[in-house]
Amino acid sequence: MRAAVIQFPGSNCDRDMAVAMDRVSGHNKPTQLIWHKESTLPDGLDIIAIPGGFSFGDYLRCGAIAARSPIMRSVVDFANKGGFVLGVCNGFQVLTESGLLPGALMRNANLKFICKDAGLRVETTDSVFTSAYKKGAVVNVPVAHHDGNYNADPETLKKLVGDDRIAFRYAENPNGSMDDIAGILSDNRRVLGMMPHPERLNDPQLGGTDGSKLFESIASALVSA
């Protein structure tokens, strides 16, 4: 599996994400870290991850400046050609800001930064990112954000629900997200954006492994590639 993680000034989960990818890919093709100023991607990538953090200091809207980085044109191209893209937290914000996922992440309803473990219900196993989970399982994954309040117009929400594109919902909504949404899939199910951080809970030494199945799902589809 050839994976890459995009780095912006202010990313802070880039290395955790690379470690999580390397662990499931068997370390034989180490995950590449790609600086946002690059304009081209290495050949033959299977998956690109956009990590969490505070890209460009969260100025304007979270992810808005990062979405206009040179590398993002190539990431959008990659996704439009059917490539797999995972965006976590600030990565989810970058994906909505770059138009790869619908809707927007707004300020949390309580206007506070929320940092805690959240129960997440797995709503669909029909994706490369969630196939190793059991549908309906509730897993515990950390959230750490001030802009995680997912919002979309009623038509978009109806489509997301009707097309089984809600990947995860919060068991107890921490941030005011519409319909308890914690993560959504793109139309072709190959782009996932989620606010909780699976890469922060994939080793017993980190306090748990509930995030591991997301990376195992990816590996079971892509590792022979």
Ligand X SMILES: NC(=O)CC[C@H](N)C(=O)O
Establish if 62 lies at the interface with ligand X (CB under 6 A).
yes
Size of the site for ligand X (CB under 6 A): 12
Q: How far apart are the first and last CA of the chain?
A: 5
User: Can 199 be counted among the known catalytic residues?
Assistant: yes
Establish if 53 lies at the interface with ligand X (CB under 6 A).
yes
CB of 63 to ligand X, least distance (A): 8
User: Can 197 be counted among the known catalytic residues?
Assistant: yes
Please say which residue, 105 or 222, places its beta carbon nearer to ligand X. 105
| Partners of 52 in beta bridges | none
**CA–CA dist 130, 124 (Å, integer):** 7
Q: Are strands 191-194 and 181-185 parallel, antiparallel or unpaired?
A: antiparallel
Site for ligand X in 9-28 (CB under 6 A): none
**CA–CA dist 189, 84 (Å, integer):** 9
Establish if 144 lies at the interface with ligand X (CB under 6 A).
yes
**CA–CA dist 56, 72 (Å, integer):** 14
Burial of 38: CB neighbours in 10 Å, binned 0-12, 13-18, 19+: middle
Establish if 89 lies at the interface with ligand X (CB under 6 A).
yes
- Residues with Cβ within 8 Å of 90's Cβ and at least 6 positions away in sequence, in order, are 10, 11, 13, 50, 51, 52, 53, 54, 55, 58, 62, 63, 66, 145
Establish if 90 lies at the interface with ligand X (CB under 6 A).
yes
Establish if 145 lies at the interface with ligand X (CB under 6 A).
yes
CB of 8 to ligand X, least distance (A): 11
User: Can 115 be counted among the known catalytic residues?
Assistant: no
Site string for ligand X, 169-208 (x = CB under 6 A): ----------------------------------------
Q: Phi first, then psi: what are they for 151, rounded to 5°?
A: -140, 140
CB of 199 to ligand X, least distance (A): 11
**CA–CA dist 67, 97 (Å, integer):** 6
Stretch that binds ligand X, among 52-60, 126-134, 202-210, 214-222 (CB under 6 A): 52-60
Establish if 87 lies at the interface with ligand X (CB under 6 A).
no
Candidate residues 121, 146, 165, 200; the one interacting with ligand X per rule CB under 6 A? 146
Q: Phi first, then psi: what are they for 48, rounded to 5°?
A: -120, 135
Candidate residues 7, 31, 54, 123; the one interacting with ligand X per rule CB under 6 A? 54
Q: Which two tokens stand for residue 101?
A: 């996922």
CB of 164 to ligand X, least distance (A): 26
Site residues (vs ligand X, CB under 6 A): 52-54, 58, 62, 89-90, 144-148
Q: Which residues are catalytic?
A: 89, 197, 199
